[in-house]
Amino acid sequence: MATISLTTDNFEQTINENDIVLVDFWASWCGPCRMFGPVFEEASEKNADLVFAKVDTEDQQQLAAGLSIMSIPTLMIFRENVLIFSQPGALPAEALENLIEQVRALDMDEVHKAVAEHDHAEHEHVH
C-alpha cells in the first residue's frame, strides 16, 4: 500500500482505526524531506500491513502545530493509538526498517500499562 495524506479531518480517525501508523511530516521546500520521501515510500511497499501517512506541514499548519512539530522531516509512529516514536531528521532505509521491526516487536500490554501508570502519576501530582 502506498502512502496516504493526513489532514486535520482524517488524522485522529486514521490513528484510532489502525494498529500501526507511521506519519512523515514534510514540506516541498525541505531538501531532507525530499530525500526521505522515497525511503518512506519504499518502506510502505515492503510493509503493506502498516499504514504510512504523510502530513504536508505547509498545507496542514494547524495539525503540525498541534503535534508540536518543530523541524521537518519528523517521523512519528503510533501503535494502538499510543505515540511510541517521534524524531526529527531523515532516516536511512536500514534505520527505518530496523525501527519498524522494533515497533512490531513491542509488547503493547507493557506499553499500555506504562501509559496508564504515567497518567495515574500525573493525576496524583495535581492534588
Grid coordinates standing for 41?
A: 515510500
Query: Is 30 in the active site?
Result: yes
Using the structure block, give the residue that is written with the C-alpha cell 515497533: 103
**Which residues neighbour 120 within 8 Å (Cβ) at sequence distance 6 or greater?**
none
**Which residues neighbour 45 within 8 Å (Cβ) at sequence distance 6 or greater?**
2
Grid coordinates standing for 37?
A: 520521501
Of 21, 30, 39, 96, which one is the catalytic site residue? 30
Of 33, 39, 55, 100, which one is the catalytic site residue? 33
Q: β-strands 51-56, 20-26: how paired?
A: parallel
Which residues form the catalytic set? 30, 33
